[in-house]
Amino acid sequence: MSENISNEIGTPFQPSNPVRPENFKGRSDIVHKIIRYIPNALNNEAQHFFLTGNKGMGKTSISDYIINYVEDEYNLATSYTSNKGNNSIDILASKILINLLNNMPKESRRQKVKTWFGEHVSELEVIGTTLRFNVDPQKQEKIRQDFIIYLNQAYEDLKKYYNGLLIVIDDINGLSDSRKFVEWYKQLADTIIVDKHYQIPVYFLLIGYPEKFDKLVELETSFGRIFYTDNIDELTDHEVEEFFEDTFKTIGVTIEDDALKLMTQYSSGVPLTMQQIGDSIFWNLTKNEIKLSEAKNGIKEAAQELGKRQIRRVLTHVKTPEHEKILLKMGENKLSTFTQEDIKEIMTQQEQEILPEFINKMLQIGMIKVVDEWDNTTEYEFTEKTFYTYYNITSSKELLKAV
């Protein structure tokens, strides 16, 4: 085949978007754990689940899968709210209601805007089949204060069409330092349980980084007791291999064993990296089989794409060649978790002299974080696995070898 396969068909990979449900792999245990509590919610026993995972682990893909599943299997009205960049409970509460409103039949949505929000809206527009509008700050505050009342009203209007509600709040991280959020959410959860006026079949799914959930629990221990929890870890090597083989199989492409082993190794079990490696290899395919040379080229190209798009916000703050050289050495020596003593072992004497400056700078820009401390020793790790993967790939002598 002389021309690239990509000239004939589209890529089956999605490095920039949540994975389509039909391509969802390797998370069946977590998905089952989340959905098994839905019957309780439908029995007017409100359920609360907090899903954690580091960046690139597929949290949003899981939530998309759950939303599709409960809409089809349980006929739930769903509200997906991205809280990214937001630290206001007022805005969050209003967004949840707006997203619930869009479950109403199209012909009645504008009327429900007036019923639910009164005259406190502006910039109302239709985007596709979705109503978008802003709610003024005074009304947002009122919604936050009386959220249970507004939620109950939303359910009363929706129950003619749906069996219950699924409310997903993604990227809760911006509220993780907020005692007010903890108190607001606890009051909401307690009121649904105690006040028999609010018999709402509702399931709340909150999503964020592990350390952000820990912060919320530190603010109020009882907050953690509200939730069932699970954390998304890296995929196993077997799951990664299965992902590559199954995905390429959909377009009639097989993978040589050596190539598959290398693709799996440099994916590090991170779905985002897997998607990028698969996509980079796909766009350069000329045959229906992936050989070692094509895998190497694709992996190297994937690292450059990660650097330009997914992690550029941090890489641009690595200003000095000396710091870049240390990071490359860490990648080459597979130091994803490390102490200062670990780094010293791979440093020149000159580099060791700037080690404290390097550590402080990497902490400041968010490249690394503290994970443990003992006996005057501090353990660090890369804040995101994709940071480590980038330097592991770009420093690899194995990938530079000719095939």
Question: What's the confidence (pLDDT) of residue 231?
Answer: 93
What count of other Cβ atoms lies within 10 Å of the Cβ of residue 277? 31
Would you give per-residue pLDDT tens digits along the chain (403 residues)? Answer: 446 655 567 888 887 766 665 556 668 889 999 999 999 999 999 999 999 998 888 888 899 989 999 999 999 999 999 988 888 999 999 999 999 998 988 888 888 888 888 777 777 777 777 877 788 889 899 999 999 999 999 999 999 999 999 999 998 888 888 899 999 999 999 999 998 888 899 999 999 999 899 999 999 999 999 999 999 988 899 999 999 999 999 999 999 999 999 999 999 998 889 999 999 999 988 889 999 999 999 999 999 998 887 788 888 888 899 999 999 999 999 999 999 999 999 999 999 999 999 999 999 999 999 988 988 899 999 998 899 999 999 999 888 765 5
Question: What's the confidence (pLDDT) of residue 2?
Answer: 44
Question: Is the CB of residue 301 less than 8 Å from the CB of residue 280?
Answer: yes
What's 184's domain CATH number?
3.40.50.300
Same domain, 128 and 203: yes
Same domain, 170 and 136: yes
Measured in Å, how far apart are the chain's first and last C-alpha atoms? 20
Question: What's the confidence (pLDDT) of residue 237?
Answer: 94
Same domain, 91 and 69: yes
Question: What's the confidence (pLDDT) of residue 23?
Answer: 57
Same domain, 370 and 254: no
Domain residue limits at 370:
313-383
Same domain, 292 and 355: no
Same domain, 64 and 136: yes
**Does residue 353 lie in a domain region?**
yes
| Residue 367: partners with Cβ closer than 8 Å, 6 or more residues away | 314, 317, 318, 327, 382, 383, 387
**Does residue 12 lie in a domain region?**
no
**Does residue 318 lie in a domain region?**
yes
- The beta strand positions in 233-386, using DSSP E, are 254-255, 289-290, 337-339, 368-374, 377-382
Q: How many domains does one find in the chain?
A: 3
Question: What's the confidence (pLDDT) of residue 402?
Answer: 54
Question: What's the confidence (pLDDT) of residue 167?
Answer: 97
Host H or E run for residue 260: helix 257-267
- The beta strand positions in 83-190, using DSSP E, are 121-127, 130-135, 164-170
